[in-house]
Amino acid sequence: MQVDLLYFDDCPSWRTGLENLESALREEGLQAEIRLVNVASDSEAARLKFLGSPSFQINGLDMWPEERDDFKLSCRVYATSQGMRGSPTIEMLREKLRIQ
C-alpha cells in the first residue's frame, strides 16, 4: 500500500497529520510506504487536484474525497469528534485504513 500525504510548506497541520498517519498505520499493524508530496504552486495544486493541506491518498485516491472545481494552495479542515481540526485524528485515519 502507498499512502501519499499532500501538503504545502506553510501549512501548520501537515506534520501532525503525518504523525497521526504513522500512529494509525502502526496501530492497525499495516505496512505502507508514506510518500510526502510537497505541493509548491497553485498550478501544481490544480494538476494534482489538491484538496488542501494535509490531504491523504491511498493508491492515488483521496481518503476524504470532495467534488470541487477550484484547486489551490490552502489548508484543509476535518470534522473530528473534538470539532474542526487541521488534520484527521488517529482514529479517523484508522477507520479509513480499515476499509481500503
Q: Which three cell numbers stand for residue 37?
A: 508530496
Q: Which three cell numbers stand for residue 61?
A: 485516491
What pLDDT, on the 0 to 100 scale, is given for residue 59?
86
CA diameter of the chain: 37
| pLDDT tens across the length of the chain (100 residues) | 899 999 999 999 999 999 999 999 999 999 999 999 999 999 999 999 999 999 999 988 999 999 989 999 999 999 999 999 999 999 999 999 998 7
Alpha carbons 24 and 37: distance in angstroms, whole number: 19
In order of start, what are the domains of the chain with their CATH numbers? 2-98 (3.40.30.10)
Alpha carbons 56 and 60: distance in angstroms, whole number: 9
Helix (H, G, I), strand (E, B) or coil at 16: helix
